[in-house]
Amino acid sequence: MAIASATTNRVLNSNLASKIMSAAEAAALINSGDQIGMSGFTGSGYPKAVPLELAHRIAEATFRGQKFQVSVFTGASTGPELDGALAMAGGIHLRLPYQSDPETRKRINAGEMEYMDVHLGHVAQFVEYGFLGKLNVALIEVTAILEDGRVVPSSSIGNNRTWIDEADRIILEVNSWQPTALEGMHDVYKLKAPPNREPIPILHTGQRIGSPYLTVPPEKVVAVVLTDAPDRNTPFKAPDEGSKRIAGHILEFLSWEVKKGRMPENLLPLQSGVGNIANAVLFGLDEAPFEGLTSYTEVIQDGMVRLLKSGKLTCASATAFSLSPGMMDEVNANMPFYHDKIVLRPQEISNHPEVIRRLGVIAMNAMIEADIYGNVNSTHVMGSRIQNGIGGSGDFARNGYLSIFMAPSIAQKGTISTIVPMVSHVDHTEHDVQVLVTENGLADLRGLSPRQRAHLIIEKCANPDYKGALLDYLNRAERLSYGKHTPHLLTESLGWHNRYLRNGNMRIREEF
Ligand code: COA
């Protein structure tokens, strides 16, 4: 049963059509204290009208001196109409999992909003196991509702299946901006709870194991809201010189792995984080000699679409699109071409350890800093200020065939070294980090002891401005440390961060 075109009515089920109302009426069905599971992942497929109206209600309540707050669970980051508006209104009590909205970040770091940073692959089961309390409302953007009540998901699928199953009340936003050709692209699969959980039967990246539709119990649907609004769709920034150099090191390394016979010629399924460096790697792959590539990842971004278009990539599995407006136009205009090459799965499947381990994914993620032993901080600036969140980096790094972390060797105009004696917050321990890359070089840490790793990381990855100071620290630690297995001088190990907080520079005063 197909939805005919973007212009026809998107709500074909008469029962659910009778529940169509305005966004303001739907927002009035949400109570203070509710826990709401919202759709949305990396700026795509998030509800765009009801959160704005909810923010108005919250602002009015605040004006009257009443406290009105809700807890917001999503797939990952959303857009200004959701996170931005609700944060601005002071309307979020607890937010999880990943966010990247400036206002939300500001409120969390001011201590005004609770934020729980959860592995993206864990969120659905945490809610299903009851770890996070009752989910009151599911607020989900969809592409269309079919005659028999089944629902065509939107440009991301995230945790929507779980939100729909677990919530008492469901509000659907039907967004006619979303292309009808999304129908058939999704693969919704439900895991049973332990001890009855079964193996997930995905043996290759493009395999479909579930249904293209979400099933929604009609009796739980309290509102259907019609919208016509674009996803966040951040404009694309061409990769800068540093990102291109990082990409170059990674591609050379992958070629070497193939030569060594540790990987097939078409590599293994690629997972690529978001951002400038990740896109540079994908762009680099377009010119590299690899053919028949596959991807098992979280988001389909510009670089990946380019690879699909050129034929280098044969299929991509993810949970969401995250495209620039230009690339979105390209995909929309050629949906039949991309339709069979892209599978969008619930994020508990796209990020599932079992599948990531079985397929042997190559995990490539950006980081904030790494220490000389290979521990990685992906989330907290100076150990306390959240940037975005761990996202899926832990799901992929811990379980992939290879885990690669990458960053420029300096940040904030050189006042910060991203290679430090000790990370100020740990997201990925030294046990889960196999390769570190900066524009200066690549350190392959496999098979090395901590002290060997430290010398290699400083030699290959550190910025020349900080190399001497890092070596000096390591040499003294090797002589004076309490233990010589992972030498540290505890009075100094976080001194670089302290110095930055005091002087605005990690270098000691005489050096700048
Ligand atoms: N210390 C202090 N600040 C640092 C820093 C460091 N070591 N490293 C980076 N920063 C700052 C940058 O200066 C920049 O600040 P600005 O916004 O004031 O300019 C900001 O952090 C973002 O850095 P940028 O270099 O633009 O990186 P990015 O946009 O590629 O993001 C991460 C890098 C690590 C923040 C991002 O990749 C992330 O959130 N990762 C965690 C989640 C993840 O891996 N998701 C993918 C899994 S599928």
Return the HEC string of 233-264.
Answer: CCCCCCCCHHHHHHHHHHHHHHHHHHHCCCCC
Nearest residue CA, atom 12 of ligand 1?
Answer: 411
Task: Identify the pLDDT of residue 6.
Answer: 41
DSSP string, 334-385: THHHHHTTEEE--HHHHT-HHHHHHHT-EEEEE-SEEETT--EESSEETTTE
At residue 241, φ and ψ (nearest 5 deg) are -60, -45
- Quote the ligand 1 centre to 231 CA distance (angstroms): 22
Ligand 1 lined by 420 (C-beta under 6 Å): no
Q: Is 55 in the pocket of ligand 1 (CB under 6 A)?
A: no
For the Cβ of 392 lying below 6 angstroms from any atom of ligand 1, the answer is: yes
Rounded alpha-carbon distances, angstroms, from residue 26 to 225, 264, 272, 484: 7, 52, 37, 62
Specify the pLDDT at position 5. 46
Tens digit of pLDDT per residue, the chain (512 long)?
455 444 458 999 999 999 999 999 999 999 999 999 999 999 999 999 999 999 999 999 999 999 999 999 999 999 999 999 999 999 999 999 999 999 999 999 999 999 999 999 999 999 999 999 999 999 999 999 999 999 999 999 999 999 999 999 999 999 999 999 999 999 999 999 999 999 999 999 999 999 999 999 999 999 999 999 999 877 778 889 999 999 999 999 999 999 999 999 999 999 998 888 888 999 999 999 999 999 999 999 999 999 999 999 999 999 999 999 899 888 988 988 999 999 999 999 999 999 999 999 999 999 999 999 999 999 999 999 999 999 999 999 999 999 999 999 999 999 999 999 999 999 999 999 999 999 999 999 999 999 999 999 999 999 999 999 999 999 999 999 999 999 999 999 999 999 999 999 999 866 55
Beta strand ranges found along 273-346 (DSSP E) = 293-296, 299-301, 313-318, 320-322, 342-344
CA–centroid distance, 34 to ligand 1, in Å, is: 32
Cα of 438 vs centre of ligand 1, distance in Å, is: 13
What is the C-alpha separation between 153 and 181, in angstroms, rounded? 11
Distance between Cα 368 and ligand 1 center (Å):
5
pLDDT of residue 3: 52
Can you tell me which atom of ligand 1 is nearest the CA of 273?
A: 46
Amino acid at 91: G
Q: What pLDDT does residue 237 have?
A: 80
Evaluate whether 344 touches 156 at the Cβ level (below 8 Å): yes
Best of 387, 424, 428 for a ligand 1 pocket test (most atoms within 8 Å of beta carbon): 387
Q: Which helix (H) or strand (E) holds 93?
A: strand 92-96
Reduced to 3 states, what is the DSSP secondary structure of residue 305?
helix
Task: Return the active site residues.
Answer: 298
Cα 131 to middle of ligand 1, angstroms? 30
Q: Which atom of ligand 1 is nearest to the CA of 365?
A: 44
Q: Are 62 and 32 in contact (CB under 8 A)?
A: no
CA 77 to ligand 1 center in whole angstroms: 14
What pLDDT, on the 0 to 100 scale, is given for residue 7?
Answer: 43
Which ligand 1 atom is at minimum distance from the Cα of 277?
Answer: 30
- Residue 276 CA, ligand 1 centroid: distance in Å: 10
Is residue 23 classed as helix, strand or coil in its secondary structure? helix
Is the CB–ligand 1 distance for residue 414 below 6 Å? no
Q: State which ligand 1 atom lies nearest to the alpha carbon of 367.
A: 34
Report whether residue 450 contacts ligand 1, using a CB cutoff of 6 Å. Answer: no
User: If you count them, how many residues does the chain have?
Assistant: 512
Cα 271–chain centre separation: 11
User: What pLDDT sits at residue 415?
Assistant: 97
Atom of ligand 1 nearest to the CA of 393: 47
| Residue 481 buriedness (CB in 10 A; 0-12 / 13-18 / 19+) | middle
pTM beyond 0.75: the answer is yes
Substitution candidate for ligand 1 out of 123, 412, 424 with most atoms within 8 A of CB:
412
Please, are residues 360 and 401 in contact by the beta-carbon 8 Å criterion? yes
Q: Is 388 in the pocket of ligand 1 (CB under 6 A)?
A: yes
Question: What is the spatial distance between Cα 224 and Cα 170, in angstroms, rounded to a whole number?
Answer: 9
Atom 20 (ligand 1): residue with closest C-alpha? 387
